[in-house]
Amino acid sequence: MKVAVIQGGPSAEAEVSRRSAAGVCGALRKAGHDAVALELGAGLAAALSSGAFEVAFPATHGRFGEDGCLQGLLEIMGIAYVGSGVLASATGIHKVFAKLAFAAAELPLAEQVVLRAGCDPEASAREVRERLGAAVVVKPASQGSAIGVTPIHASDSHDALVAAIRGALAFDDTVLIERFVTGRELTCSVLDVAETGGLRALPVTEIFADKADWYDFASKYATGGSRHRCPAELPAELFRRVQELACRAHRALGCRDLSRVDFILSEESTGPAVTLLEVNTIPGMTATSLYPEAATAAGIPFDRLCDILVRNALERARAAGAVAAVPIPT
C-alpha cells in the first residue's frame, strides 16, 4: 500500500512531528508498505494528488496538522487517513472546548479559569488566585507538548503568575488556567479499530520526569528526560478505572483509531482520585513516545500497529464510499 506520512508544518512542534514521521515510515516499510514522508505546507495538496497515495498517515502535531485543518483537506480530496476526523481534531486540540465535552460526559476535571486576549493580566492573576488558590497551571488553549505551559507553585509570586499569563497569551488568544493537582503522572493509550476488537484501552503507563519537577517538553522528548513504567503499578481496580476513563474521554471527543489520554492520580482524604488532563488525538510516535510503548506492552509491535491503522483507514473510507475500491494487500 502506498502511504503518505505527513509531517512538519508551521507548528512549534514541527521537529517532533518529523521524528514521529520517521518512526512511522520505518514501521510501515518494515510491514511491507511504500511509505513516503510529505511536508505539511502549501505544496501538500499537489504532492498528494500526484503521488497516487491510497492512505495518509498524519504524524503532525499542533497547528494545521492536529487541529482539523489537515483532516479537512484530506476529506475534500477524498483520501483515506488514519486518526480522528475534523470535529474531534479541532475540539481535542483546544483545551477549553475539550473540557466542555469532558464535563458533559461527567469526567473528572480540575477547577479552571479561562482568559481571553485583551484581559488585564494583573487583574486576571488576582481573580485566578481568589478562585483557584495559589498553585495553578497556566496553559495556552491550543498548544501541545507542554509548549507555553507554566506551573505556578504556592510559593511563587503574583508577578510570576502575571508573567505566565502573558507568556501563554503570546502563544494563543485563549488561556486555560487550572488548579494545580499534584500526584502521579499517568497516561492511557486507546486503540479503536475493528481488527483488534474495537475500542480498547492499552496498558496504563506511569511517567517519571527525572530531570524536571513536571512533565515538560524536554522530559517528553529528550533522551533520558523521563522514565516510563508500562504497565503502571496500580491496584487492579484503579488500573481498570483509568482505562475506563480513557475510553470515555476518547468517546466524548468523538475520536477514532487512536488517542492517548493523560491523567493525574492524587491522594485525597476520600482515597485515590483520578483527574483527566487532556486527550492527544495524534499521539507521538518517536523513539521515546508513550503510545508505541503501550502497544508493544499489549503485544502489538510498532510495525504491526502502523499496518493495522492504515488498513483500518482504507477499509473505513471504502465502506463510506469516500475512495475507489482498492484491493488491500494481505
Q: Is 206 considered catalytic here?
A: no
Which one of the listed residues 19, 63, 260, 311 is annotated catalytic?
260
Q: Is 221 considered catalytic here?
A: yes
Which one of the listed residues 280, 293, 307, 312 is annotated catalytic?
280
Q: Is 50 considered catalytic here?
A: no
Q: Is 241 considered catalytic here?
A: no
Which one of the listed residues 9, 11, 13, 19 is annotated catalytic?
13
Q: Is 268 considered catalytic here?
A: no
* Pick from 16, 119, 23, 117: nearest CA to 63: 16
Which one of the listed residues 17, 20, 145, 312 is annotated catalytic?
145
Q: What is the Cα–Cα distance from 242 to 313, expressed in whole angstroms?
A: 27
Q: How far is CA 15 from CA 45, 60, 182, in A?
A: 21, 10, 30
Q: Is 127 considered catalytic here?
A: no
Residue with cell 519537577: 213
20-23 contacts, C-beta under 8 A, 24 or more apart: 20/59, 20/61, 20/284, 20/285, 20/286, 20/289, 21/59, 21/285, 23/59, 23/285, 23/286, 23/287, 23/289, 23/292, 23/302
Hey, what amino acid is at 201?
Answer: A
Which one of the listed residues 172, 178, 257, 278 is annotated catalytic?
278
Q: Is 215 considered catalytic here?
A: no
> How many CB atoms lie under 10 A from the CB of residue 208?
12
Q: Is 178 considered catalytic here?
A: no
Which one of the listed residues 63, 284, 291, 312 is annotated catalytic?
284
> How many CB atoms lie under 10 A from the CB of residue 178?
20
All three cell numbers of 148, joined, read 507555553
Which one of the listed residues 66, 67, 262, 293 is annotated catalytic?
262
Q: Could you tell me the sign of the dihedral formed by the alpha carbons of 88, 89, 92, 96, in that order?
A: negative
Which one of the listed residues 65, 66, 85, 221 is annotated catalytic?
221
Active site residues: 13, 145, 221, 260, 262, 278, 280, 284
